[in-house]
Amino acid sequence: MADQEIRHDVAAALEGLRARIAAAALPGAAPKLIAVSKFQPVDAVEAALAAGQRVFGENRVQEGKAKFGPLREDWPDIELHLIGPLQTNKVRDAVAAFDVIQTLDRPRLAEALAAEIARSGRRPRLLVQVNTGDEPQKAGVPTGEADAFIESCRAEHGLAIEGLMCIPPVDEDPSMHFALLADMARRHGLDVLSMGMSADFETAIRFGATHVRIGTAIFGDRPHAPAGTDTGTGGPA
């Protein structure tokens, strides 16, 4: 596909999605579209940038750093979200490269993030990922532990938690999961709810999503991950 075709297709997809998001939004709300660009080539991201998109989501620290580091030279207003599982040995790079980390989900990671934020002085915005379906293969703090974990992030580690993120089970009605996450956010006074993907973002918006993570509906089918790539179990689509 020629560059011009990519630009046209991505721009048309974004225009349609923005209209659907606006139509689904609650009165006074303006949900933010996160374009999920994992495994997408740079020319696809540049097409989205040319169409006015500035918020992107990547699953892997190294891919996000390599792809968006050079792009920020021409588009310094890019906002980059980490939406895949974060290993503690990648925390330094994640804090340096990402504006938002959505996948805080365990005490060791909270401790590592607090230490790196103190060391570097850089403060990416933080969301706690909740495993609303309590799926053993998926990242995220279990629902029964989430309240205590949010409080410990604040009280023990001094982290400024801004919101919550979830990825509902693929074989269940997402509504109950979005409702659970929204209720948890209200209990903790959190304003940010990252929930909803290509197939269910309009439902998520009706339950109060402030951010929706959409990849396929913008870029089409995602290219296969390179051999040996850790794609991040249960990562957003």
Q: Is the pLDDT of residue 95 over 50?
A: yes
Report pLDDT for 228: 44
Report pLDDT for 226: 53
Q: Is the pLDDT of residue 30 over 70?
A: yes
pLDDT-based confidence at 1, cuts 50/70/90?
Answer: very low
Q: Walk me through the domains of the chain, giving residue ranges and CATH numbers.
A: 3-219 (3.20.20.10)
Report pLDDT for 231: 37
State pLDDT tens for residues 179-197: 999 999 999 999 999 999 9
State pLDDT tens for residues 14-23: 999 999 999 9
State pLDDT tens for residues 44-75: 999 999 999 999 999 999 999 999 999 999 99
Report pLDDT for 234: 39
Report pLDDT for 225: 55
CA 41 to chain centroid:
19
Report pLDDT for 236: 40
Report pLDDT for 73: 96
Q: How far apart are CA 16 and CA 12, in angstroms?
A: 6
Report pLDDT for 221: 82
Q: How far apart are CA 37 and CA 45, in angstroms?
A: 7
pLDDT mean across residues, the chain: 93
Q: Which of 30-44, 148-162, 208-222, 223-237 has the lowest mean pLDDT?
A: 223-237
8, containing H or E segment = helix 3-24
pLDDT-based confidence at 223, cuts 50/70/90?
Answer: low
Instruction: Check: CB of residue 59 under 8 Å from CB of residue 35.
Output: no
Report pLDDT for 229: 42
User: Once rounded to an integer, what is the mean pLDDT over residues 188-208?
Assistant: 97
Residues 6+ apart with CB under 8 A from 230: 60
Q: How far apart are CA 223 and CA 100, in angstroms?
A: 24
